[in-house]
Amino acid sequence: MTKIYAGGCACGAVRYETTSEPVFENHCQCLDCQKRSGTGHGSYLTFARRAEMAMTGETRSWRIVADSGKEKVHAFCPNCGTPVFVTFAAAPEAIAIHAASLDDPGQFKPQVLTYRARAHAWDRIDPDLVAFEGMPHG
């Protein structure tokens, strides 16, 4: 049986679906994720091939230079404002979806914590996760 990762925004105007497996699943405590989420971190599933992610609905986007010094593009639903996915100038084929945007958020299986150096004491993440002070390279 093929596993499907599907989800979208809060109002349903933006939807995505893929049968690809994520290549990276993480919690991120960088300042950008904190500000965008309104809490202490963001949670993501990254897929290697954006082209394998079927997407319906219109998104709007904004660009930032991340803690890494590289540009990221954040896409959100213009109707409800829900953040849906992130793309990366340094890895244009990849796409990261927000874990909470999944129809079944239980599919998210975090592997690591990134940007622990930016963490707040009140944002406690599973201490058994491998934690990196920034973004791991490799």
Residue 133 identity (one-letter amino acid) = E
The mean-pLDDT minimum among 84-93, 98-107, 129-138 falls in 129-138
Q: Is residue 2 predicted with pLDDT exceeding 70?
A: yes
Residue 52: which pLDDT band, with cuts at 50, 70 and 90?
very high
Q: Is residue 138 predicted with pLDDT exceeding 60?
A: no
Instruction: Kindly calculate the radius of gyration of the chain based on its CA atoms and give it in whole angstroms.
Output: 14
Beta-bridge partner residues of 5: 18
Q: Is residue 66 predicted with pLDDT exceeding 90?
A: no
- Please name which of 105, 122, 132 lies closest in space to residue 44, comparing C-alpha atoms: 105
pTM for the model stands at: 0.91
Residue 16 near residue 7, CB atoms below 8 Å: yes
pLDDT digits (tens, 9 = 90+) for 21-35: 999 999 999 988 898
pLDDT digits (tens, 9 = 90+) for 107-121: 999 999 999 999 999
Q: Which domains does the chain have, with CATH numbers?
A: 10-131 (3.90.1590.10)
CA–CA dist 107, 100 (Å, integer)? 10
Cα distances from 17 to residues 49, 78, 84, 132, in angstroms, run: 12, 19, 12, 30
CA–CA dist 96, 128 (Å, integer)? 23
Q: Tokens 């593009």 identify what position?
A: 73
